[in-house]
Structure 1
Amino acid sequence: MTPSPVLRDTSAWKAQVWISFSIAACLCGTGLAWLPVTPLEQAFMVMGYVFCLSAVFVLSKFVRDKAARLDETPMWSLVVWSGFGMAVALTGWGLWQMSVAPAYKAYLMVCWLFLISSAFTLAKMLRDAHDVRRAERMPVPERLSAQQ
């Protein structure tokens, strides 16, 4: 039995993912930098966006590890899912409660959702690339048993 070929992402896909994430981050940064609120409210929103971004990467890794059947403790599962839920809920609540024009809230909401979705895609692409590099270093007999 020969090992199946290792599938790589195309450079066009990699470019699209990085460009998408970069645009989302720039749009969020611009919206947060020009946010017409007090510095404390602005800092809350920046922390919320960063909290969401880090929670996305943690959740992505957790889900991928579960798919690979790597066991985690139940408490870690609770921490990961509740951290992501709290990040999204608190940031959403902060957006909802801000006293800014509805158009500004809508802009920040769309940028935030764009950032979250592009971060999930980026996390998957980076993990796929890591898996390809790991598979290429693996001897053929181990690669065959890993595919089963």
Structure 2
Amino acid sequence: MFYMQAWISFVVAMAAMGIGIAYLPVSAWIRGFVALGGLYLVTSSFTLAKVIRDRQETETMVNRVDQARLEKLLSDHDLFRPESV
């Protein structure tokens, strides 16, 4: 449901911005400049979100590897494990 809400919010915001730019009482050049600025803002927002997500996934993966190494180290040197003679 959150995924659907995010997409609906994005579509509504883009439509509102597009309609607002279309009805601006200025020349076509200024409308084009504002539209290009809005498009740049949207694409840079997507890029930033992707970079943050990728960094978080990388940190999660590193944490998992570190946790697995720690568990192996602890299991190899378990002080409560009976010694086999």
TM-score by length of 1: 0.42
Does residue 103 (structure 1) correspond to residue 22 (structure 2)? The answer is no
Does residue 84 (structure 1) correspond to residue 27 (structure 2)? The answer is no
Matched to 1:96, the amino acid is: A
Which is higher, the Rg of structure 1 or of structure 2? 2
| CA displacement at 1:96 relative to structure 2 | 0.4
Determine the structure 2 residue equivalent to 1:140. Answer: 68
| CA displacement at 1:137 relative to structure 2 | 1.3
Matched to 2:68, the amino acid is: V
| CA displacement at 1:129 relative to structure 2 | 0.8
| CA displacement at 1:99 relative to structure 2 | 0.4
Determine the structure 2 residue equivalent to 1:124. Answer: 50
Matched to 2:47, the amino acid is: T
- List 4+ stretches of structure 1 deviating above 6 A: none
Residue identity (%): 27
The within-5 A match list for 1:64-75 is 75=1
In 2, Cα distance between the equivalents of 1:122 and 1:77? 18
In 1, Cα distance between the equivalents of 2:3 and 2:55? 25
In 2, Cα distance between the equivalents of 1:85 and 1:98? 20
Q: Deviations over 1:108-142 (max 9, x none)?
A: 1111111111111111011111111111111238x
Does residue 94 (structure 1) correspond to residue 20 (structure 2)? The answer is yes
Q: State the Cα RMSD in Å.
A: 1.5
Question: How many residues matched?
Answer: 67
Determine the structure 1 residue equivalent to 2:78. Answer: none
| CA displacement at 1:76 relative to structure 2 | 2.7
Report the secondary structure of 2:48's partner residue: helix
